Amino acid sequence: MAALRSEVESWRSLEQRITDALELSQLEDESLIPDLESEMAEIEIDLNQREFDCMLSGEYDRGYALLAIHAGAGGTDSQDWTAMLQRMYLRWAESRGYETEILDTTEGEEAGIKSVTISVEGAYAYGYLRPEKGVHRLVRLSPFDASHRRHTSFALVEVLPQVDDNTEIKINPNDLRIDTYRSAGAGGQNVQKNDTAVRITHLPTGMVVTCQNERSQIQNKENAMRVLRARLLEQKQAEQAEQLAELRGEYTKAEWGSQIRSYVLHPYQMVKDHRTNFEVGNAQNVLDGALDGLIEAYLRASMGVGN
């Protein structure tokens, strides 16, 4: 209720600003022109942001997100690329004031990360991260190649809406097989001596989720269930979309498809989204978390809204 009240009040405030500006313009006082121009520029920025927020009107767009990153083709380079993407999204979330929690991580043998699952909590977290779903491609001089040759690496980014127990996703406990094991991690005093890591298998679908980052088995189980509910919801949505496509006579691919975005660090620097052709020359800035331009360009294009 507080969130709705705040949103209504912000629209009323904007309405009042526009009314005041119109009244001042009718005074035909030339000394007021600079102030009016400044006010109208600020109102236009406000309206553009509200237009952007209206694009985040999906059923789960206002809620939290689960972000999963998986190393693809490219060996150690792709695992290092996965770690770079994890840093990029954590920095982006921090810049927006979102809270993040790493639920599960599988480290690479030599360097980097094979896969990681991150909880992102904040208003519109899922709506903003939704455009990031897909394959991300990196082109650079490999730090793991003795000859320092150029390598191409791939990583898959999944974005799932976080859902609670009261959603339409109901899980029968009899459909679950829960296994426990010792968490992987650093040696020495940090070695886990108890079976705190949890692996849950959803028998009807064969879906498997794991969580091992918490020191408590109960917490790991709760987090694993959060991920399982999100994955089952995504599967349900995909099935509904496929059925709708069949009714409409559309052809829908069932695979991830080619990369959605390329990050080129050599021989030049550029980040390009292949869905919108939106480009950013400062690749390092993007890798430091400056994703808003790419996200906004995709949302505007998907809604048929110009820049």
163 and 233 Cβ atoms separated by less than 8 Å = yes
Element (H, E) at 229: helix 217-248
DSSP 128-145: HHGGG-EEEEEEEE-TT-
Look at the block and give the residue holding tokens 């121009």. 37
pLDDT tens readout for residues 138-147: 999 998 887 8
Task: Give the separation between CA 120 and CA 86, rounded to whole angstroms.
Answer: 12
Which residues partner with 181 through β-bridges? 197
138 and 263 Cβ atoms separated by less than 8 Å = yes
Task: Tell me which CATH code domain 65-166+261-302 carries.
Answer: 3.30.70.1660
Task: Give the separation between CA 235 and CA 233, rounded to whole angstroms.
Answer: 5
pLDDT tens readout for residues 249-273: 654 443 445 789 999 998 899 999 9
Tell me what pLDDT residue 257 has: 54
Give the CA distances from residue 74 to residues 84, 137, 268, 270, 286, in Å, rounded to whole numbers and listed in that order.
14, 10, 20, 20, 21
Task: Give the separation between CA 61 and CA 126, rounded to whole angstroms.
Answer: 5
Tell me what pLDDT residue 302 has: 83
Task: Give the separation between CA 18 and CA 31, rounded to whole angstroms.
Answer: 19
Q: Which residues of the chain have pLDDT under 70?
A: 3, 165-168, 184-194, 244-257, 305-307
Task: Tell me which CATH code domain 173-248 carries.
Answer: 3.30.160.20
Tell me what pLDDT residue 306 has: 57
Phi, psi of 132 (to 5 degrees): -85, -5
Tell me what pLDDT residue 165 has: 64
Tell me what pLDDT residue 145 has: 82
Tell me what pLDDT residue 169 has: 79
Tell me what pLDDT residue 48 has: 83
Assign 82 to helix, strand or coil. helix
List strands edge to edge, sheet with 197-202.
176-181, 197-202, 207-211
Which residues partner with 17 through β-bridges? none
